[in-house]
Chains A and B, each alone.
Chain A
Amino acid sequence: EDKVVQSPLSLVVHEGDTVTLNCSYEVTNFRSLLWYKQEKKAPTFLFMLTSSGIEKKSGRLSSILDKKELFSILNITATQTGDSAIYLCAPYNTDKLIFGTGTRLQVFP
Protein backbone atom coordinates (compact mmCIF):
# COMPACT_ATOMS: atom_id res chain seq x y z
CA GLU A 1 0.00 0.00 0.00
CA ASP A 2 1.27 3.48 -0.87
CA LYS A 3 2.40 5.50 2.10
CA VAL A 4 3.42 9.13 2.65
CA VAL A 5 4.66 10.39 6.02
CA GLN A 6 5.30 14.03 6.74
CA SER A 7 7.16 15.32 9.75
CA PRO A 8 6.91 17.13 11.97
CA LEU A 9 3.12 17.24 12.24
CA SER A 10 3.29 20.75 13.59
CA LEU A 11 5.94 23.43 13.94
CA VAL A 12 5.90 26.78 15.74
CA VAL A 13 8.69 29.26 15.01
CA HIS A 14 9.47 32.95 15.17
CA GLU A 15 9.88 35.20 12.18
CA GLY A 16 13.37 34.92 10.73
CA ASP A 17 13.85 31.28 11.67
CA THR A 18 14.72 28.64 9.08
CA VAL A 19 12.58 25.50 8.93
CA THR A 20 12.93 22.12 7.28
CA LEU A 21 9.88 20.03 6.49
CA ASN A 22 10.25 16.35 5.74
CA CYS A 23 8.38 13.94 3.52
CA SER A 24 9.14 10.24 3.21
CA TYR A 25 7.24 7.98 0.85
CA GLU A 26 6.73 4.45 -0.34
CA VAL A 27 4.86 4.63 -3.63
CA THR A 28 4.69 2.11 -6.43
CA ASN A 29 5.35 3.44 -9.95
CA PHE A 30 6.69 6.72 -8.57
CA ARG A 31 6.98 9.48 -11.16
CA SER A 32 7.37 12.77 -9.31
CA LEU A 33 6.74 14.54 -6.02
CA LEU A 34 4.84 17.77 -5.51
CA TRP A 35 4.70 20.26 -2.66
CA TYR A 36 1.65 22.40 -1.98
CA LYS A 37 0.94 25.21 0.47
CA GLN A 38 -2.54 25.34 1.98
CA GLU A 39 -3.74 28.37 3.87
CA LYS A 40 -7.41 28.59 4.72
CA LYS A 41 -8.49 27.66 1.24
CA ALA A 42 -7.15 26.04 -1.91
CA PRO A 43 -3.79 24.25 -1.85
CA THR A 44 -1.45 26.21 -4.08
CA PHE A 45 1.33 24.57 -6.08
CA LEU A 46 4.90 25.16 -4.92
CA PHE A 47 7.23 22.65 -6.57
CA MET A 48 7.33 19.54 -8.67
CA LEU A 49 10.43 17.36 -8.31
CA THR A 50 11.30 14.57 -10.68
CA SER A 51 15.07 14.13 -10.41
CA SER A 52 17.16 13.24 -7.41
CA GLY A 53 19.60 15.77 -6.01
CA ILE A 54 18.49 18.77 -8.03
CA GLU A 55 17.35 21.61 -5.81
CA LYS A 56 14.42 23.71 -6.89
CA LYS A 57 14.20 27.25 -5.52
CA SER A 58 11.57 29.91 -5.40
CA GLY A 59 12.50 32.90 -3.31
CA ARG A 60 13.00 31.78 0.29
CA LEU A 61 11.66 28.30 -0.43
CA SER A 62 13.68 25.40 -1.77
CA SER A 63 13.14 21.69 -2.13
CA ILE A 64 15.08 18.59 -3.03
CA LEU A 65 14.26 14.96 -3.74
CA ASP A 66 16.20 11.80 -2.90
CA LYS A 67 14.78 8.92 -4.95
CA LYS A 68 17.19 6.41 -3.47
CA GLU A 69 16.25 7.10 0.15
CA LEU A 70 12.64 7.96 -0.80
CA PHE A 71 12.28 11.36 0.79
CA SER A 72 12.03 15.02 0.05
CA ILE A 73 12.60 18.14 2.12
CA LEU A 74 11.17 21.60 1.87
CA ASN A 75 13.26 24.42 3.35
CA ILE A 76 11.99 27.87 4.18
CA THR A 77 14.57 30.46 5.18
CA ALA A 78 13.91 33.76 6.98
CA THR A 79 10.32 32.75 7.71
CA GLN A 80 7.57 35.35 7.70
CA THR A 81 4.09 35.30 9.23
CA GLY A 82 2.71 34.83 5.72
CA ASP A 83 4.42 31.44 5.58
CA SER A 84 1.96 30.15 8.20
CA ALA A 85 0.08 27.34 6.48
CA ILE A 86 -0.19 23.59 6.09
CA TYR A 87 2.44 22.22 3.74
CA LEU A 88 1.40 19.15 1.80
CA CYS A 89 3.67 16.63 0.15
CA ALA A 90 2.22 14.52 -2.67
CA PRO A 91 4.10 11.86 -4.61
CA TYR A 92 2.59 11.06 -8.00
CA ASN A 93 2.40 7.55 -9.39
CA THR A 94 1.11 6.71 -12.84
CA ASP A 95 -2.35 8.15 -12.31
CA LYS A 96 -2.80 10.03 -9.06
CA LEU A 97 -1.34 12.21 -6.34
CA ILE A 98 -1.00 10.55 -2.95
CA PHE A 99 -1.14 13.19 -0.25
CA GLY A 100 0.49 13.19 3.14
CA THR A 101 -1.42 14.63 6.09
CA GLY A 102 0.71 17.75 6.03
CA THR A 103 2.90 19.80 8.34
CA ARG A 104 1.23 22.75 10.03
CA LEU A 105 3.65 25.66 10.27
CA GLN A 106 2.90 28.64 12.49
CA VAL A 107 5.19 31.64 12.31
CA PHE A 108 4.88 34.23 15.07
CA PRO A 109 6.23 37.79 14.91
Chain B
Amino acid sequence: DVKVTQSSRYLVKRTGEKVFLECVQDMDHENMFWYRQDPGLGLRLIYFSYDVKMKEKGDIPEGYSVSREKKERFSLILESASTNQTSMYLCASSLWQNQETQYFGPGTRLLVL
Protein backbone atom coordinates (compact mmCIF):
# COMPACT_ATOMS: atom_id res chain seq x y z
CA ASP B 1 0.00 0.00 0.00
CA VAL B 2 1.18 3.46 -0.85
CA LYS B 3 1.67 5.61 2.17
CA VAL B 4 1.90 9.37 2.04
CA THR B 5 2.38 11.11 5.35
CA GLN B 6 2.28 14.77 6.26
CA SER B 7 4.09 16.20 9.24
CA SER B 8 1.11 17.83 10.96
CA ARG B 9 -2.66 17.39 10.85
CA TYR B 10 -3.36 20.81 12.33
CA LEU B 11 -1.18 23.90 12.48
CA VAL B 12 -1.79 27.40 13.80
CA LYS B 13 0.61 30.16 12.81
CA ARG B 14 0.74 33.94 12.99
CA THR B 15 0.83 36.32 10.04
CA GLY B 16 4.39 36.81 8.83
CA GLU B 17 5.74 33.54 10.20
CA LYS B 18 7.68 31.15 7.97
CA VAL B 19 5.83 27.85 7.70
CA PHE B 20 7.16 24.46 6.60
CA LEU B 21 4.81 21.66 5.57
CA GLU B 22 6.50 18.31 5.10
CA CYS B 23 5.38 15.37 3.00
CA VAL B 24 6.97 11.93 2.82
CA GLN B 25 6.03 9.00 0.60
CA ASP B 26 7.36 5.48 0.96
CA MET B 27 6.70 3.99 -2.49
CA ASP B 28 9.62 5.40 -4.46
CA HIS B 29 7.32 7.60 -6.54
CA GLU B 30 9.00 10.06 -8.86
CA ASN B 31 6.21 12.66 -8.88
CA MET B 32 5.05 14.67 -5.91
CA PHE B 33 2.42 17.39 -5.69
CA TRP B 34 1.13 20.05 -3.32
CA TYR B 35 -2.51 21.17 -3.45
CA ARG B 36 -4.66 23.41 -1.35
CA GLN B 37 -8.35 22.73 -0.86
CA ASP B 38 -10.87 25.46 -0.12
CA PRO B 39 -14.67 25.30 0.07
CA GLY B 40 -16.26 26.01 -3.29
CA LEU B 41 -12.91 26.00 -5.09
CA GLY B 42 -11.89 22.36 -4.97
CA LEU B 43 -8.29 21.23 -5.03
CA ARG B 44 -5.87 23.60 -6.70
CA LEU B 45 -2.32 22.70 -7.65
CA ILE B 46 0.39 24.82 -6.04
CA TYR B 47 3.62 23.13 -7.12
CA PHE B 48 4.77 19.75 -8.33
CA SER B 49 8.03 17.94 -8.83
CA TYR B 50 9.05 15.21 -11.25
CA ASP B 51 12.39 14.45 -9.68
CA VAL B 52 14.81 15.41 -6.97
CA LYS B 53 15.71 19.10 -7.10
CA MET B 54 13.14 19.71 -9.83
CA LYS B 55 10.04 21.80 -9.36
CA GLU B 56 7.28 23.16 -11.55
CA LYS B 57 4.71 25.84 -10.77
CA GLY B 58 1.12 24.81 -10.64
CA ASP B 59 -1.89 27.07 -10.91
CA ILE B 60 -1.41 29.11 -7.73
CA PRO B 61 2.28 29.26 -6.78
CA GLU B 62 2.30 32.85 -5.50
CA GLY B 63 3.36 33.09 -1.87
CA TYR B 64 4.74 29.54 -1.81
CA SER B 65 7.99 27.77 -2.56
CA VAL B 66 8.99 24.11 -2.46
CA SER B 67 12.02 21.96 -1.83
CA ARG B 68 12.78 18.43 -2.96
CA GLU B 69 16.20 17.39 -1.73
CA LYS B 70 15.35 13.69 -1.48
CA LYS B 71 13.07 11.57 -3.65
CA GLU B 72 10.74 10.65 -0.83
CA ARG B 73 10.32 14.12 0.65
CA PHE B 74 8.61 17.22 -0.73
CA SER B 75 8.34 20.34 1.39
CA LEU B 76 6.02 23.30 0.94
CA ILE B 77 7.23 26.60 2.35
CA LEU B 78 5.20 29.68 3.13
CA GLU B 79 7.87 32.38 3.34
CA SER B 80 5.64 34.85 5.16
CA ALA B 81 2.28 33.39 6.06
CA SER B 82 -0.83 35.46 5.41
CA THR B 83 -4.43 34.96 6.48
CA ASN B 84 -5.49 34.09 2.92
CA GLN B 85 -3.24 31.05 3.13
CA THR B 86 -5.51 29.53 5.75
CA SER B 87 -6.53 26.30 4.06
CA MET B 88 -6.29 22.52 3.91
CA TYR B 89 -3.01 21.47 2.27
CA LEU B 90 -2.80 18.09 0.60
CA CYS B 91 0.30 16.34 -0.66
CA ALA B 92 0.18 13.60 -3.29
CA SER B 93 2.57 11.33 -5.15
CA SER B 94 2.51 9.18 -8.28
CA LEU B 95 4.70 7.03 -10.44
CA TRP B 96 6.41 8.60 -13.45
CA GLN B 97 4.70 6.17 -15.84
CA ASN B 98 1.27 6.62 -14.28
CA GLN B 99 1.23 10.28 -13.43
CA GLU B 100 -2.49 10.69 -13.16
CA THR B 101 -3.10 8.11 -10.44
CA GLN B 102 -2.11 10.17 -7.45
CA TYR B 103 -2.07 8.98 -3.85
CA PHE B 104 -2.85 11.58 -1.24
CA GLY B 105 -1.68 12.26 2.28
CA PRO B 106 -4.13 13.00 5.12
CA GLY B 107 -3.78 16.76 4.76
CA THR B 108 -2.63 19.59 7.00
CA ARG B 109 -5.23 22.09 8.11
CA LEU B 110 -3.40 25.41 8.48
CA LEU B 111 -4.87 28.39 10.28
CA VAL B 112 -3.02 31.71 9.94
CA LEU B 113 -4.04 34.29 12.51
Q: A residues near B, CB below 8 A?
A: 4, 31-32, 34, 36, 41-45, 48, 88, 90, 92, 95-97, 99-102
Contacts and interface: CB of A to CB of B under 8 A. Distances in A.
Interface string B1-15: 000100000000000
Interface of B: 4, 35, 40-45, 48, 58, 90, 99-107
A31 B106 CA distance: 27
A9 to B, nearest CB: 9
B42 A45 contact: no
A34 B48 CA distance: 18
Task: Name the prevailing secondary structure of the A interface residues.
Answer: strand
A32 B94 CA distance: 15
A92 B42 contact: no
B106 A34 contact: no
B105 A42 contact: yes
A32 B104 contact: no
A99 B35 CA distance: 10
B101 A34 contact: yes
Nearest to B103: A45
Nearest to A96: B45
B51 to A, nearest CB: 14
Given A88-B43, A96-B58, A99-B43, A42 B100 contact: no
B106 A41 contact: yes
B42 A88 contact: yes
